[in-house]
Amino acid sequence: MARAGLDTHTLVLAAAELADAQGVQEVTLAALAAKLGVRPPSLYNHINGLAGLRTLLAIHGLEQLYDAMSAAAEGARGEQAVHALSQAYIGFARQHPGLYETTLRAPEEGDTALEAAGGKVLSLIIQVLSCFGLDEEGNLHAVRGLRSILHGFSALENQGGFGMPLDLNVSLTRLIRAYIAGIRCMGEGADELE
């Protein structure tokens, strides 16, 4: 019964590896305990059950995602910054498909750590898009648009939803470019459809 020397962070890292290598549905306490050389109940000393582990995974994933995005957008402005940010987002989702997937769980109300991690990512996107001179409401709509694009592209790519033999990076670049061009072209007087 020698101690394994586990702690919460070790568990989260091991669970993230499992998620990326085997898929989120394979992140079970049984599998995690086996990977760490311990019995499942021992994990409860460090995490709050499977639900707690998933929340920690989401926070960890959002932090990694934020780091990747903010490093990529560093020093860039305007359209270039949006492209850099977007490529970092999709790159993270590609490299960490399982961890990325955990990122999407809606936070339970009052889960301030998870809300904060998600809020940092959101703020970064808001900031990068603020260069386009939209009013505050327009900027928030634009943020929703970019998030939709980035998540939709990542999810479809990761789930093999893009069957066609066509370069994915070209698709992404065109999509982002079109969206930015669209925001610029529309200007102010394009509300007659609503």
Token reading at 116 = 């904060």
Select the binding partner of residue 183 from a copy of itself, DNA, none (C-beta < 5 to 8 A, by kind).
a copy of itself
Tell me how far apart the alpha carbons of residues 31 and 139 are, in angstroms, rounded to a whole number. 44
R_g (Cα) of the chain, nearest Å: 19
Q: Give the residue with the Cβ less far from a copy of itself, 3 or 194.
A: 194
CA distance 32 to 37: 9
For the window 48-77, what string marks contact with DNA as x by the rule CB under 7 A? Answer: -xxx--------------------------
For 101, 110, 118, 131, 132, the CA distances from 87, given in Å and listed in that order, are 17, 32, 18, 18, 19
Residue where the block lists tokens 């992404």? 172
* Contact string 105-124 vs a copy of itself (x = CB under 8 A): xx---------------x--
Query: Nearer Cβ to DNA, position 2 or 170?
Result: 2
Query: Residue 36 CB, nearest distance to DNA (Å)?
Result: 8
What does 1 bind: DNA, a copy of itself, none (CB cut-off 5 to 8 Å by kind)?
A: DNA
- Smallest CA-to-CA distance from 67 within 46, 48, 95, 44 is with 95
Q: Which is nearer to a copy of itself, 46 or 92 (CB)?
A: 92
Give, rounded to a whole angstrom, the gap between the first and last alpha carbons of the chain.
Answer: 67
Contact positions vs a copy of itself (CB under 8 A):
83, 104-106, 122, 137-138, 140-142, 144-145, 147-153, 155-156, 159-164, 166, 170-171, 173-175, 177-186, 190, 193-194
